[in-house]
Amino acid sequence: MMRFEKQPIQFSPISLGIESNQNIVLIHQNHRRIPITPFQAQYLNLLMKGKTISEVVLSFLSEGWLIRFGELYELLQRLAKENSIISPKWSHLSGEGEFQFKTSSEIHYRNEDVLGLLKKAPFFSSLSEDLLKLFARHGQIYDTPAYVQLCTQGQKTRDLFLLVSGEAGVFRQDQGSRKLVVKLKAPTVFGEGGFFLEQPRATDVITTAPAKVIRIVFHEKFSQVMNQEKARSLQQRFWLLHALSNSEIFKNHPAEVFNEIGSLAKIHQLPIHNYLFHENDLGSSFFILIQGRLQVIRNQVCINKLEQGSCLGEVALFVNRGLRSASVLAETDCLIAEITQNKFYYFLAENLELAKKIEQQALILLNRDQKR
């Protein structure tokens, strides 16, 4: 099943116009006039010409413009409520609706080389041979049809999953309805929160297309490996998972989303008394503090201190094109995850609802910091 964001949208008869200096969408079937912003008019003009949501986002990025995800989302939501989106269905993006779940008899065990598949997958490919073999010994491959629930919100299970091929959706249950949080595309790992942190499942994970899945059953030997600190890359991923779960921007998103975000990040060491960047620098990266403490300095005065899970530089990605509003200095030795603007936008271009939520949270943090 192709992602909603990567499909051209077919609209019922509509047209763009301007009335009394106000951009509008005219809905032909009921003659309703919907006021929209100038940015929404630009987005809709491109969508009506056959561009996908993903193409619109990347088109703006290529021209040096920041997309307003909230306005794009609101535009599509309003058109959907007017029944002006013929296909693809808006419910596929919002995650509303019921699934006809498959039975366990339709899930087939596959006798295949688990170790070989793990070696080709991000996260696993960087691990030592011994650690890879440990994961492979406790892994099984399954051919899974669409609409199989792999994780259930609230359950305390510790299996780790690798989506080898196909597609799955991460859904949160809220007041009796199921909402799509993010779509997972192969190859991707999910279930880290339960596997490493013993956390209850924060969401449902459901295949949305036929998929090949490796299920790795937790064993105490994995805890021993973590305690003995044998795998540096696994440790750093574990630390990044902790940092994201403590981040004001990301903590309300499920652990399954962290895998996709973590795959975008490059991890750096920042020694004590070194600057990450300086006030008024131009930059196009977003940072997550994994370990250590940072000082935020404006006009040579420390205005804030940041600890594990703190995000910085998000304003550069969503608001002001990278102008740094303060300097950031390492108070201790630090471990930093960096995500470049282009990588983050490519990810958000295919996850519109998540993009809208992260943008909203970034603006809240910006408004709060401006009041300091």
Query: What are the tens digits of pLDDT across the range 25-74?
Result: 999 988 999 999 999 999 999 999 999 999 999 888 888 787 888 899 88
Q: Say how far apart CA 292 and CA 335 lie, in whole Å.
A: 7
Token pair recorded at residue 352: 């519109």
Q: Say how far apart CA 117 and CA 187 lie, in whole Å.
A: 10
Higher pLDDT, 79 or 221: 79
Token pair recorded at residue 130: 């011994």
Q: Is the pLDDT of residue 231 over 70?
A: no
For residues 239 and 301, the answer to whether their CB atoms sit within 8 Å is no
Of the pLDDT bands very low, low, confident and very high (cuts 50, 70, 90), residue 122 is: low
Higher pLDDT, 196 or 104: 196
Give the bridge partners for 170, in sequence order: 182, 205
In this prediction, residues 155-177 reach a mean pLDDT of 86
Q: Say how far apart CA 92 and CA 180 lie, in whole Å.
A: 8
How high is the pLDDT of residue 12?
Answer: 93
Residues 66-107: tens digit of each pLDDT: 788 889 988 998 898 888 998 876 544 444 444 455 555 556
Sign for the CA dihedral angle at 118, 122, 124, 126 comes to positive
In this prediction, residues 167-194 reach a mean pLDDT of 80
Q: Say how far apart CA 329 and CA 277 lie, in whole Å.
A: 8
pTM, 2 dp: 0.62
Please provide the average confidence, as pLDDT, over all residues in the chain. 81
Of the pLDDT bands very low, low, confident and very high (cuts 50, 70, 90), residue 271 is: very high
Q: What 3-state DSSP class applies to 25?
A: strand
CA 357 to chain centre: 10
For residues 54 and 4, the answer to whether their CB atoms sit within 8 Å is no
Token pair recorded at residue 278: 């300086």
Of the pLDDT bands very low, low, confident and very high (cuts 50, 70, 90), residue 178 is: confident
Percent of the chain scoring above 90 in pLDDT: 28
Single-letter amino acid code for the residue at 181 = V
In this prediction, residues 333-343 reach a mean pLDDT of 89
Intra-chain end-to-end CA distance of the chain, in Å: 47
**Distances, alpha carbon 145 to alpha carbons 102, 159, 268, 291, 362, in Å:** 7, 19, 40, 40, 37
Of the pLDDT bands very low, low, confident and very high (cuts 50, 70, 90), residue 233 is: low
